[in-house]
């Protein structure tokens, strides 16, 4: 990896909505180089030596937090994990107080996960540090979007021209939003499938160009010419909210079964942001099958987050 | 009243008095707190104290029918004295104080406290709006008869809709019996759910929970039906959607005793304001779509919405400096109410007499008024302001005196500076320095 390839990307990564197609491609190219680091005996490069990265997680998360932690460590950064849970607001310390505390500790990059949409933006507005959004409410999860793009590009050679079907609770999903934005920026066609209760008003307006997003309520119809199928995690706790009758009917109508995957294009990719509910939104044999990219997504996630940390740590020009 | 006549002459100004149909240069003679004569320029007889209104407009005192004063209970947000002072500084001479204080203004005791604090402040008149139900809990009627006799101009449960239509029906019937109009803030709480902004493409993009326009419109429709059923005067405010306007237009045409109000921010801002998650734009009803704003502007212009009110809801700065989901609803609006109204005039959305009428004639028609209030016809109380329409000021922390900072117009330069505000002929506000000239407002 040549450090001279670091590009000007702006201070913060708050969402793919703010990132150009060219920058996305550069980030993916950088991730390609970093993927190799993970295969070495000594899985470390000195790119961020002397930099401090704080993982500030206000929501419980194992996958994303460990992925960021590993990415920062492989870049030789010093990493601090702060898990505040949801109780910090109750305790009286505001997000702004937390931000000022971090500022006082001279942190270079803050990775934030928060249940409230816009929290990373709020932090970015007051902090001189770089801020990377690791998922905020139902707004965006840009590194998940990037790692999904990366996984698709590696499996299919390119993103443009593919049909990607996203199935599930789009309304409450930051993963769906970042994917929709990133995929359409790189020229894919996105088809959203869910019961109408899970499709938010005006979602198609997030597409980079008109006509690149279509919406339907029938998974079987949607799969005919699909290159990628991406079921979203069903938030089972939302069964109480009147979004769907229950997981049995959901699995029946929207579960990705082997039969359904067979109806898609030959060799279509099955993806999932995890953690999965086996037998609900995705059948176990699909999740563990040949067409599943689920574990590749995890591997690729580290490389993509390395690329993001590399470009969004700026300053010193390591 | 003093045996000696107290006389003030206001000369050189341009009088806008929609109730009297005047929009022309006029001099005014004030004797013992009332308008004694309205004359062509230079025709006032006699001598006496003279207030030079040259280059300014003379307007009847505004009545703000919906302001959330924070005393008692939330003085850290704003005191009555601060609010009443800002009102006077903005040409508002009568201020309705909504009952959502702590304790709730559901009793004579709390209302008297509010009045006493306001009297001590010596600025705008403050009229407490009593609660409709005890504790605004929607379960037991408040002692509306006593509240009415003590001078409350209306009753309301402020932001808290009376959920049960049966309870609402009885409350309206009872209010009619004691001669009080009822102010309702339209919202179906179940449909609003956890919503924090208008539901639309912007809320979807921002990942914030939406409040659909239907949440407001369901409530507007119900309260129109109950006004029709009970014969009670229902004032629905603030309204913000095209659908509400349609429902109200139909009801008013059919003679249902219903009226509506809105606030300047609903006429000037859309949900696009929230793109940067600025919590100063988090308000209920939420800032709506372009189409809603267009319909609302037409409704204010044609009188379907007869009242503009500030809907002032100040919060402490630290309360708003939190995640959007956690910030309280509300916009501080007293300090900018007049200037934003004048901005609507500048932008050609309302003509000046109509804009003034929405703050004077409209409130008088809905809530009644002491004889002659809302006009400056001969014999009327001399509640008025002298305003330099051309002067501009910038909405800064300093200009807001450090309170009521939760305004979406922070940093904007707005038209209109009040030079003098008089209540009963007595000055309750006078600008200390000449207004800052246009273009000299300085940086944010």
- Report the side by side order of strands in the sheet with A52-57: A78-83, A52-57, A109-114, A130-136
Per residue in B1-31, pLDDT (tens digit) is 444 568 999 999 999 999 999 999 999 999 9
Q: Angle CA(A274)–CA(A278)–CA(A282) in degrees, nearest 5?
A: 75
Domains assigned to chain B: 7-58+380-437 (2.30.40.10), 60-367 (3.20.20.140)
Check CB contact of A99 with chain B, cutoff 8 Å. Answer: no
Q: How close, in Å, is residue B430 to chain A by CA atoms?
A: 39
- Cβ atoms of residues A308 and A5 within 8 Å: no
**b/e string for A53-82 if b means 16 or more Cβ within 10 A?**
bbbbbbbebeebbebbbbbbbbbebebbee
Q: How close, in Å, is residue B72 to chain A by CA atoms?
A: 24
CA B89/CA B310 separation, integer angstroms: 14
B362, with CB counted inside 10 A (0-12, 13-18, 19+), is buried
Nearest CA in chain B to A135: B207
Number of residue pairs across A and B with CB atoms under 8 Å?
68
Write the residue in A95, A139, A205 that is nearest to B201 by C-beta: A205
Check CB contact of A118 with chain B, cutoff 8 Å. Answer: yes
Check CB contact of A19 with chain B, cutoff 8 Å. Answer: no
Bridge partners, B8 (sequence order): B30, B49
Per residue in A295-304, pLDDT (tens digit) is 999 999 999 9
DSSP strand pairing (B7-11 vs B27-31)? antiparallel
The residue whose two tokens read 């009327």 is B380
Q: How close, in Å, is residue B330 to chain A by CA atoms?
A: 19
Q: What is the pLDDT of residue A143?
A: 98
Average of pLDDT values for A152-161?
97
Q: How close, in Å, is residue A54 to chain B by CA atoms?
A: 20
The residue whose two tokens read 């006509």 is A211
- Cβ atoms of residues B262 and B295 within 8 Å: no
Name the DSSP class of B122.
Answer: T
Average pLDDT value for chain B: 94
For residue A17, which residues of chain B lie inside 8 Å, CB to CB?
205
Q: How close, in Å, is residue B275 to chain A by CA atoms?
A: 10
Check CB contact of B210 with chain A, cutoff 8 Å. Answer: yes
Q: What is the pLDDT of residue A317?
A: 43
Q: Which of A274, A286, A244, A299 is nearest to A32 (CA)?
A: A299
CA B233/CA B153 separation, integer angstroms: 12
Tell me whether residues A206 and B321 touch, CB distance under 8 A: no
Average of pLDDT values for A252-274?
96
CA A303/CA A34 separation, integer angstroms: 5
Write the residue in A95, A121, A203 that is nearest to B204 by C-beta: A203
Tell me whether residues A177 and B207 touch, CB distance under 8 A: yes
Domains assigned to chain A: 16-140+301-313 (3.40.50.1370), 142-297 (3.40.50.1370)
Name the DSSP class of B4.
Answer: S
- Cβ atoms of residues B384 and B399 within 8 Å: no
Nearest CA in chain B to A140: B207
For helices A21-37 and A174-185, the axis angle rounded to 10 degrees is 110
Tell me whether residues B204 and A89 touch, CB distance under 8 A: no
ipTM: 0.93
CA B378/CA A183 separation, integer angstroms: 71
**b/e string for A224-247 if b means 16 or more Cβ within 10 A?**
eebbbbbbbbbeeeeeeeebbeeb
Per residue, the 3-state secondary structure of A32-78, as one string, reads HHHHHHCCCCCCCCCCCCCCEEEEEECCCCCHHHHHHHHHHHHCCCE
Tokens representing B131 are 């609660």
- Give the Å distances, CA to CA, from B221 to B192, B216, B217, B287, B439: 16, 9, 6, 20, 46
Peptide bond before residue B174 is cis, with ω within 30 degrees of 0: no
One digit per residue, pLDDT tens: chain B, 444 residues?
444 568 999 999 999 999 999 999 999 999 999 999 999 999 998 777 899 999 999 999 999 999 999 999 999 999 999 999 999 999 999 999 999 999 999 999 999 999 999 999 999 999 999 999 999 999 999 999 999 999 999 999 999 999 999 999 999 999 999 999 999 999 999 999 999 999 999 999 999 999 999 999 999 999 999 999 999 999 999 999 999 999 999 999 999 999 999 999 999 999 999 999 999 999 999 999 999 999 999 999 999 999 999 999 999 999 999 999 999 999 999 999 999 999 999 999 999 999 999 999 999 999 987 766 899 999 999 999 999 999 999 999 999 998 999 999 999 999 999 999 999 999 999 997 544 444 333 333
Instruction: Specify the 3-state DSSP secondary structure of B349.
Output: coil
Check CB contact of A119 with chain B, cutoff 8 Å. Answer: yes
Please state whether A165 falls in left (phi above 0), alpha (psi between -120 and 50) or beta.
beta
State the alpha helices, DSSP H only, in chain A: 21-37, 63-74, 88-91, 95-104, 119-126, 142-156, 174-185, 219-223, 247-254, 258-263, 284-287, 294-311
Write the residue in A17, A121, A200 that is nearest to B277 by C-beta: A121
Q: How close, in Å, is residue A258 to chain B by CA atoms?
A: 32
Tokens representing A251 are 């699995």
Nearest CA in chain B to A174: B207
């Amino acid at each position: 990896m040549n450090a001279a390839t670091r590009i000007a990307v702006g201070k913060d990564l708050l969402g793919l909505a703010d990132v150009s197609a060219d920058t996305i491609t550069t980030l993916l190219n950088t991730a390609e180089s970093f993927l190799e680091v993970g295969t070495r005996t000594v899985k470390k490069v000195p790119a961020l030596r002397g930099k401090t990265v704080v993982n500030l997680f206000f929501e419980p998360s194992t996958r994303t937090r460990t992925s960021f932690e590993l990415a920062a460590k492989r870049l030789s950064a010093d990493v601090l994990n702060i898990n505040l849970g949801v109780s910090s607001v109750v305790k009286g310390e505001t997000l702004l107080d937390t931000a000022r505390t971090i500022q006082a500790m001279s942190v270079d990059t803050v990775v934030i996960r928060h249940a409230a949409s816009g929290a990373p933006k709020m932090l970015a507005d007051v902090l001189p540090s770089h801020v990377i959004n690791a998922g905020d409410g139902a707004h965006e999860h840009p590194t998940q979007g990037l790692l999904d793009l990366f996984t698709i590009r590696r499996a299919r050679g390119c993103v443009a021209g593919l049909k990607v079907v996203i199935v599930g609770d789009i309304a409450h999903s930051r993963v769906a939003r970042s994917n929709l934005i990133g995929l359409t920026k790189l020229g894919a066609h996105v088809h959203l499938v869910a019961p109408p209760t899970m499709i938010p008003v005006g979602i198609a307006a997030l597409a980079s160009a008109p006509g690149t997003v279509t919406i339907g309520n029938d998974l079987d119809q949607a799969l005919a010419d699909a290159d990628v199928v991406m079921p979203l995690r069903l938030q089972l706790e939302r069964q109480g909210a009147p979004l769907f009758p229950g997981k049995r009917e959901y699995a029946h109508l929207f579960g990705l079964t082997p039969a359904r995957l067979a109806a898609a294009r030959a060799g279509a990719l099955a993806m999932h942001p995890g953690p999965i509910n086996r037998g609900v939104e995705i059948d176990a044999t699909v999740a563990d099958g040949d067409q599943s990219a689920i574990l590749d997504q995890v591997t690729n996630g580290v490389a993509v987050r390395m690329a993001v940390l590399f470009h969004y740590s700026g300053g010193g020009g390591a | 009243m003093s045996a000696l006549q107290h006389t003030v002459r206001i000369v050189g100004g341009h009088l806008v008095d929609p109730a009297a149909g005047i929009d022309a240069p006029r001099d005014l003679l004030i004797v013992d707190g009332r308008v004694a004569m309205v004359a062509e320029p230079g025709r006032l007889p006699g001598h006496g104290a003279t207030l030079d209104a040259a280059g300014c407009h003379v307007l009847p005192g505004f009545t703000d029918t919906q302001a959330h004063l924070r005393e008692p209970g939330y003085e850290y947000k704003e005191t009555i004295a601060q609010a009443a002072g800002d009102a006077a500084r903005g040409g508002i001479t009568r201020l309705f104080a909504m009952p959502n204080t702590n304790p709730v203004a559901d009793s004579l005791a709390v209302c008297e406290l509010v009045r006493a604090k306001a009297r001590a402040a010596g600025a705008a008149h403050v009229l407490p709006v009593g609660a409709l139900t005890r504790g605004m809990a929607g379960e037991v009627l408040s002692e509306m008869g006593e509240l009415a006799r003590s001078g409350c101009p209306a009753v309301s449960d402020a932001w808290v809709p009376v959920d049960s239509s049966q309870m609402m029906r009885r409350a309206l019937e009872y209010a009619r019996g004691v001669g009080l109009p009822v102010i309702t803030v339209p919202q179906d709480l179940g449909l609003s759910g956890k919503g924090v902004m208008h539901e639309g493409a912007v809320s979807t993009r921002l990942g914030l929970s939406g409040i659909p326009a239907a949440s407001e419109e369901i409530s507007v429709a119900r309260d129109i039906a109950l006004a029709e059923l009970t014969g009670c005067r229902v004032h629905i405010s603030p309204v913000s959607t095209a659908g509400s306007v349609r429902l109200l237009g139909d009801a008013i045409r059919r003679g249902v005793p219903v009226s509506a109000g809105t606030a300047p921010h609903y006429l000037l801002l859309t949900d696009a304001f929230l793109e940067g998650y600025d919590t100063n734009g988090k308000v209920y009803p939420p800032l709506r779509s372009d189409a809603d704003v267009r319909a609302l502007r037409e409704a204010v212009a044609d009188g379907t919405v007869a009242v503009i009110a500030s809907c002032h809801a100040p919060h402490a700065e630290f309360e708003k400096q939190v995640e959007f989901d956690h910030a309280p609803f509300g916009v501080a609006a007293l300090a900018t109410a007049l200037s934003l109204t004048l901005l609507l005039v500048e932008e050609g959305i309302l003509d000046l007499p109509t804009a003034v009428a929405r703050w004077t004639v409209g409130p008088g028609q809905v809530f009644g008024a002491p004889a002659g209030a809302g006009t400056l016809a001969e014999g009327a109380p001399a509640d008025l302001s002298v305003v330099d329409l051309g002067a501009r000021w910038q909405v800064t922390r300093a200009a807001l005196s450090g309170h009521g900072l939760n305004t979406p117009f922070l940093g904007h330069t707005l038209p209109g500076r009040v030079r003098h505000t008089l209540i009963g002929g007595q000055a309750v506000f006078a600008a200390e320095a000449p207004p800052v000239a246009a273009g000299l407002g300085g940086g944010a």
